[in-house]
Amino acid sequence: MARTPLDKIRNIGITAHIDAGKTTTTERILYYTGKSHKIGEVHDGNTTTDYMEQERERGITITSAAVTAEWKDHRINIIDTPGHIDFNIEVNRSLRVLDGAVFIIEGVAGVQPQSETNWRLADRYNVPRIIFINKLDRTGADFFRAFDTLKEKLGIVALPLQLPIGAEENFIGVVDLVEMKAIVWEGGELGAKFHDEPIPAELEEKAKEHRQILLDTAVGVDEKAMEEYFENGDVSVETLKRCIKKGTISGEFRPVLCGTAFKNKGVQPLLDAVLDYLPSPVDVEGIKVAPEEGEDEDAERRVIPVREDGPFAGLAFKIVNDKYGNLTFVRVYSGVLKSGDQVLNTTKGHKERIGRMFQMHADKREEIKEVTAGDIAAFVGLKDTGTGDTLASQEDPVVLERMAFPVPVIDIS
Ligand code: GDP
């Protein structure tokens, strides 16, 4: 497979309070990105991302440590971020390796305690975020009320990029405030098609009002866009998207989208938003090197930029035990790693030989020959590399800041 350019990679997490729809949304993403042909509903106990599940037929490994999906020429690596309170250490650890996150909020309850906890953790790691208000088909769901809880409970500048069309069982689509059009789904079944329409007359005023808020907020982050705005009273879609991305990465504001994953409305625009607004590995600051011995933990430290032509440096962030042995999931920060290479485990101080490497899709694992900076792969055959260990090139070892959490191996064999 051709190498995906760095700017076309997104390493994201999806996080939610339990039951808000993380599994369903992930399933829909895998469906729409074409890698999961047999969709597993939650109640079937057959979901691709449920790592406690047994392996399915054909010897395919089910693991949610990191799943790769392709959308519009981009590669989206979805890294599992457990939602349950008991997994806080895991959430913590996963947040380190992702460049952006989708926060799913329930349309009836709004922000719930676990979303709040995860939000604070994401703050700590400066993870850029977009918000998806889900379950808008449910009785009692209210976009604006759920939206208000974002401000009340998280104290953020939440910025709608969409407004719902219809409510509860009559929820049919969204007004896209960036392109000022309506997106309407034809039916609610899986694979349902959608089309663009003019904004419904009864929503025109509200759409204009929110488009104005969007412009005033987003354009404020970029001087050149401000000039364009003052000159023309509006900006191009391209400029607006650039501003939204900039403000999302800096955390100035948090874009909000909406829909119902279960009724298959809203997931494709959410995927577009992941590409448009969440950063690629090159859009974010690289990873820091570890403190020297005796050095203050909080001291300013050198940052390793994400570069394919740098020395190899990576971080083992999860180990999953399946029937083929241990799969070690590594996020590569710098350089290129080929199967057969020898690397240095800088945490343990010994060498490791890289055996076969894989990229995990929803329904298959694909063997790859190399993995480059910014990407994620699973390795077989690392003998003594634990979760949180850092790996480096032997010739030019760069010691990355390690993850400080002792985390158990998840056994799914
Ligand atoms: P998770 O715990 O966040 O992974 O949530 P799940 O995806 O497992 O969803 C919890 C329950 O809510 C399941 O029964 C789903 O079928 C249901 N659900 C998920 N999304 C929606 C939605 O958009 N609308 C409705 N009505 N139900 C949903």
Average confidence (pLDDT) per 10 residues, the chain, 413 residues? 84 90 89 61 44 34 68 92 56 75 96 89 88 98 98 97 98 98 93 93 98 97 96 96 97 97 96 97 76 68 80 88 79 91 92 90 83 92 86 83 46 39
pLDDT of residue 292: 67
Q: 20 among the known binding-site residues? A: yes
Is 381 exposed, middle or buried, given 0-12, 13-18 or 19+ CB atoms closer than 10 A? middle
Q: Is 135 in the pocket of ligand 1 (CB under 6 A)?
A: yes
* Ligand 1 center to 166 CA (angstroms): 20
Non-local CB neighbours of 210 within 8 Å, separated by 6+ positions: 160, 163, 177
Q: Which atom of ligand 1 is nearest to the CA of 24?
A: 7
CA 39/CA 27 separation, integer angstroms: 7
Q: Is 260 in the pocket of ligand 1 (CB under 6 A)?
A: yes
pLDDT of residue 18: 84
> pTM here?
0.88
* Ligand 1 center to 73 CA (angstroms): 29
Non-local CB neighbours of 147 within 8 Å, separated by 6+ positions: 110, 133, 158, 160, 256
Which protein residue has the closest C-alpha to ligand 1 atom 17? 21
Complex-level ipTM beyond the 0.90 threshold: yes
Alpha helices in 223-318 (DSSP H): 223-232, 237-250, 267-277
Q: Which one, of 277, 271, 268, lies nearest residue 195 by Cα? A: 268
Q: 135 among the known binding-site residues? A: yes
Q: Is 39 in the pocket of ligand 1 (CB under 6 A)?
A: no
Per-residue DSSP letters for 64-128?
-SEEEEEETTEEEEEE----SGGGHHHHHHHHHH-SEEEEEEETTTBS-HHHHHHHHHHHHTT--
CA 224/CA 110 separation, integer angstroms: 36
Which residues are 293's β-sheet partners? Answer: none
Q: Which one, of 307, 323, 342, 314, lies nearest residue 7 by Cα? A: 307
Q: What is the dihedral of CA 187, 190, 193, 198, to 10 degrees?
A: 50
Q: Which atom of ligand 1 is nearest to the CA of 138?
A: 26
* Ligand 1 center to 263 CA (angstroms): 10
CA 200/CA 89 separation, integer angstroms: 46
DSSP state of 238: H
Token pair, residue 217, equals: 């907020």
Q: 46 among the known binding-site residues? A: no
* Ligand 1 center to 35 CA (angstroms): 21
Is 232 exposed, middle or buried, given 0-12, 13-18 or 19+ CB atoms closer than 10 A? exposed
Q: 81 among the known binding-site residues? A: yes
Mutate to test the pocket of ligand 1, among 14, 27, 42 (most ligand atoms within 8 A of CB): 42
CA 356/CA 224 separation, integer angstroms: 48
CA 127/CA 13 separation, integer angstroms: 10
* Ligand 1 center to 53 CA (angstroms): 18
* Ligand 1 center to 19 CA (angstroms): 6
